[in-house]
Amino acid sequence: MAVLVNGRAGAPVDPLDRGLQYGDGLFETIALLDGRPRFLDWHFERLADGARRLRFPEADFATLRAELASAASGESRAVLKLVLTRGLGPRGYGPPATAEPTRIVASFPWPATRTEGLRVGWCRTPLGRNPVLAGLKHLNRLEQVLARSEWDDGSLDEGLMQDELGNVVSATQANLLARIGGAWVTPELSACGVAGVMRRAFLGWSAARGEPVVERALTRAEVEGATALVLTNAVAGAVPVRALAGRALAEEPAVAAFNASIGQP
C-alpha cells in the first residue's frame, strides 16, 4: 500500500490541515484495472466540479495524474484513493485568500470479488438535505460512517439511506438503481447523495441501449416494491441486491451486460 502526500511517499499531513479540522476537502475512489485508472476523466470532472463549488483553486490534474500513476506503480489491479483538501489556513472557518491544496494519493489492494448479490437493509441514520453540498464527494462523511456502524454482525452487506423527507437517496457507499414498472429509476441527487461515477456510467450505458434511467425522487415504498435493485460503486461496478430486508429479489440480466461493458473483474 503506497500513500503519497503532495507527491512524497510516507510524508505526513499537518494536524492543522483544513481537511482534518473541518472536512474541507474532496475525494475520489478509482478502480485501477489492467494498470489503468478506470473512468479517470469522469473522476477528474467531478473533482473539478467540487473544487469549483467549494471555491478551491483549480486542481492541478497533470500532477494528480502523475501521482496516481506513481502510487499505482507496478500494480495491475488496485483501488486508488485521491483526497484533495484546502490545505492550511488561519484558525476559523473562513478559507484563506490563497489556498494551497493538499494532495493525498493512496493505493489499496483490490477487494475480494463478490460472487453473489448483496443483502441490504434500511439504515436509521438519515441524510441531511443540503443542495450546496449535494452530489459532491466531499470529506464530510459522518452520516455514512454512522449508517455503516448500525450493523457489525455480518447480517447485511449494505444499507439504504433516506433523507429527512423519507426520500431514498443511496446506500452508504453506493448509488441505487431500482427496476420499477419495467423501467430503471434512480434517486435524483439535488438535495443529498453523491453523484457516483459508476452511476453515470450505468445511466449512459442504459440510455445508449434505448432504456434511459429516470432520475426522480423515490419513496421507500417504491423501493420495497421494486422487482430488482442494483447498487453501483466505482470499484464494485453494478452489483445486484439479492434481498432487501429479507425479501428476495430477482437479478436483471442488464447488470451482467453492463459489468461486461466496463470490464468489471
Q: Given the rule CB under 8 A, which residues bind a second copy?
A: 3, 5, 11-25, 27, 54-55, 79, 81, 83, 85-86, 91-95, 97, 104, 106, 108, 125-133, 138-149, 152, 164, 172-173, 192
Separation between Cα atoms, residue 202 and residue 37, nearest integer Å:
17
Cβ nearer to a second copy, comparing 20 with 243: 20
Closest CA to 261 of 38, 9, 37: 38
Cβ nearer to a second copy, comparing 127 with 229: 127
At its nearest, how many Å lie between a second copy and the CB of residue 254? Answer: 27
How would you class 119 by CB atoms within 10 Å of its CB: exposed for 0-12, middle for 13-18, buried for 19 or more? middle
Are 19 and 86 within 8 A, CB to CB? yes
At its nearest, how many Å lie between a second copy and the CB of residue 181? Answer: 30
SS3 84: strand
Cβ nearer to a second copy, comparing 165 with 183: 165
How would you class 9 by CB atoms within 10 Å of its CB: exposed for 0-12, middle for 13-18, buried for 19 or more? exposed
Cβ nearer to a second copy, comparing 122 with 205: 122
Sign of CA dihedral 39, 42, 48, 49: negative
At its nearest, how many Å lie between a second copy and the CB of residue 157? Answer: 11
Cβ nearer to a second copy, comparing 25 with 37: 25
Are 171 and 182 within 8 A, CB to CB? no
At its nearest, how many Å lie between a second copy and the CB of residue 131? Answer: 7
